[in-house]
Amino acid sequence: MNNIHQMQRLQEAAQTNGPLCVGLDTDPSYIPENILSKYKTPMKAVLAYNKALIKKCKPYMCCAKVQIAYYEAMGIEGLKTYAETLKALKEADIPVISDIKRGDIADTAKAYARAHFSGDFETDIITVNPYMGFDTLKPFTEWCSKEKGGKGAFVLLCTSNPGMVDIEHQKLEDGSLLLERVGNELDRIGQEFKAEYPEQTCGPVGAVVGATQTEDALYLRKKYPNTLFLIPGYGAQGGAAEIAGTLLLEAGGVVNSSRGILCAWKKDESLAEKRENGTLTMADITRAAAKAAKFSKKDLTKAKAKVEKKYK
Amino acid sequence: MNNIHQMQRLQEAAQTNGPLCVGLDTDPSYIPENILSKYKTPMKAVLAYNKALIKKCKPYMCCAKVQIAYYEAMGIEGLKTYAETLKALKEADIPVISDIKRGDIADTAKAYARAHFSGDFETDIITVNPYMGFDTLKPFTEWCSKEKGGKGAFVLLCTSNPGMVDIEHQKLEDGSLLLERVGNELDRIGQEFKAEYPEQTCGPVGAVVGATQTEDALYLRKKYPNTLFLIPGYGAQGGAAEIAGTLLLEAGGVVNSSRGILCAWKKDESLAEKRENGTLTMADITRAAAKAAKFSKKDLTKAKAKVEKKYK
């Protein structure tokens, strides 16, 4: 039995280490050719890079987000690498969000929850797609109880892609946005968990809110002050630090950067010659990643302070 | 290059062999204890049951649907069994729908598409969750082109669970249902593919429509006459054959039954004694499944004919 749930652990980690979540969406194409070729398979290079990143970026991150799609794309070996990556993060005592965006009904949702909250792919927190309805959330949120180990879940609320207008941002008959129905339900679930975790400062179920819409950011942050946010869209996706800073008010959250860190070697000026000569090493690209993580942590902390000042 | 896409192949298979889709959601708990214990691991029993089912049910089915969640729940070994099951279906020349309900943005969606349209988990048709917006469908539907192998996709339109009212069935400002936005987009995609596949009688992108709502069934079937439907909710989920029959009008579709077939041994009267004694064999439970498949095929064909008569 865990007395604090994983979302509380994450909130505390963000308060101590800053809000940066390092996204290990490690596609083999994010590693230079000359390094890849030194490994028996591309996934062996991915695992080595992940492990090096975990070690070097740890001072600058509060958690890692592992995007399963990139591992699934590499088949069985990819998923073994995914499991190994989760294990390395656990050993480093870093909170892990598995970005799986699963969603299904009844027994099928239960199977997905078992898949990612136990066994080979056991993780701390998952992302969940609510599209099929609120009865499809329960099989996942059940695992947030103390008895089941106090897991956590981030439910998709307001994503960072242009297509979010097609469904999430649709206006309903009563003038509200569809995504508010989801937000309200997450609020309700949060209230429900208060009885079980009275001493904790956030609920075990958070929301995914992209750092791409200034208006939405402030509105959603004020509307759901007790919900922890997982914030994608900062960095490579073009989201500004200021929007992320806004989303970090109230209960706060964690801000993901994946390619901005994984591919930092592509833009690092000190590596220009090695890039051209094809002589980059694993240590080089990891150092560039750690530098980018350090910068992002500072950038986000500054943005958060600026926004806090603005709204105080 | 394939000159017919997988959805056309599926439509033709349904016309020849009837509309039954056998769902291989083979949880180990769907196999009697005494049979499970004969295998080295539960997943070895699952694979043996799947292979036996494929052989014995083939005359009664037009396709199989493999629900990945049950395999994912068993970790790496589960996903190896999933890959083996897909291979066995391919060897038997049975069209396969991989029920994965993935959905994500940009490069992540591309990774999921690669994961399930190539490599270890290559399949014919997948299911897709459209929640994050229509830009998230493209990375999947790209694979429907001739050049990419003519794959197919069923997008969630109107699911069979009670919670479908929470999002899918919400009324928008203009009085239409949210799910109609999805349906209209699928229609538009279908029109787009007509240029590439002018001679084919259906588009490569279909819709998931549950057999649980009589009103919706008729409305959606008439509104989207050219879209092939994947129809869950028949049998174990309580959906009546008549609703399925309605959904089989126009472009038609395939009707899934999973537990109704996999667990037929639990209700087969001729197996009562063996069930009680714990002496069931793999041949027994496979025979019960094939009997249930034969019955379902007949039941659905009759229901379809009845509905056709009613509306002609």
Residue ranges of the domains in chain B?
6-310
Looking at residue A237, its pLDDT comes to 55
The angle formed by the CA atoms of residues A101, A103 and A105, to the nearest 5 degrees, is: 170
B178-194 and B214-223 are packed helices; what angle lies between their axes, rounded to 10 degrees? 30
pLDDT tens for each residue of A281-307 = 999 999 999 999 999 999 999 999 999
Looking at residue A238, its pLDDT comes to 54
B182–chain A Cβ distance below 8 A for any pair? yes
Kind and range of the H or E run holding A102? strand A96-102
Report the C-alpha gap between B290 and B25 in whole angstroms. 16
The mean pLDDT value of chain B amounts to: 96
Q: What are phi and psi of B24, to 5 degrees?
A: -90, 60
Looking at residue A1, its pLDDT comes to 58
A107–chain B Cβ distance below 8 A for any pair? yes
Nearest CB to A163 within list B121, B132, B163 = B132
B170, A172: Cβ pair inside 8 Å?
Answer: yes
Looking at residue B1, its pLDDT comes to 58
Looking at residue A311, its pLDDT comes to 83
B134, A163: Cβ pair inside 8 Å?
Answer: yes
Does pLDDT of B36 surpass 70? yes
- Indicate the pLDDT class of residue B180, thresholds 50, 70 and 90: very high
pTM as predicted: 0.98
User: Which residue in A167, A169, A188, A258 has the most chain B C-beta atoms within 10 A of its own C-beta, making it the best mutation to test that interface?
Assistant: A167
B108, A167: Cβ pair inside 8 Å?
Answer: no
Q: Rounded mean pLDDT of B13-27?
A: 98
B74–chain A Cβ distance below 8 A for any pair? yes
Residue-level length of chain A: 312
Looking at residue A236, its pLDDT comes to 58
Nearest CB to A69 within list B73, B111, B134 = B111
Looking at residue A100, its pLDDT comes to 98
Looking at residue B42, its pLDDT comes to 98
Does pLDDT of B220 surpass 70? yes
What are residue B158's DSSP bridge partners? Answer: B209
Q: Rounded mean pLDDT of B193-204?
A: 95
Residues of A (146-165) whose Cβ lies below 8 Å from B: 156, 159-165
8-state DSSP, A238 = -
Looking at residue B215, its pLDDT comes to 85
Contacts of A27 in chain B (CB under 8 A): 107, 111
- Indicate the pLDDT class of residue B239, thresholds 50, 70 and 90: low
Looking at residue B238, its pLDDT comes to 54
Residue type at B145 in one-letter notation = S
> Tell me, what's the ipTM?
0.97
8-state DSSP, A22 = E
Q: Which of A23, A53, A18 is nearest to A259 (CA)?
A: A23
Which residues of chain A register pLDDT less than 50? none
B112–chain A Cβ distance below 8 A for any pair? yes
pLDDT tens for each residue of A150-209 = 999 999 999 999 999 999 999 999 999 999 999 999 999 999 999 999 999 999 999 999
Instruction: Tally A–B CB contacts below 8 A.
Output: 193
Q: Rounded mean pLDDT of B182-200?
A: 96
Q: Which of B264, B199, B196, B206 is nearest to B232 (CA)?
A: B206
B121, A75: Cβ pair inside 8 Å?
Answer: yes
Looking at residue A294, its pLDDT comes to 96
Looking at residue A259, its pLDDT comes to 95
Kind and range of the H or E run holding A65? strand A63-67
Looking at residue A235, its pLDDT comes to 78
Contacts of B78 in chain A (CB under 8 A): 115
The fold of B6-310 is TIM Barrel (3.20.20)
- Indicate the pLDDT class of residue B214, thresholds 50, 70 and 90: confident
Report the C-alpha gap between B235 and B237 in whole angstroms. 6
Looking at residue B2, its pLDDT comes to 64
B76, A69: Cβ pair inside 8 Å?
Answer: no
Looking at residue B206, its pLDDT comes to 98
Nearest CB to A119 within list B75, B165, B168 = B75
A239–chain B Cβ distance below 8 A for any pair? no
Report the C-alpha gap between A254 and A273 in whole angstroms. 35
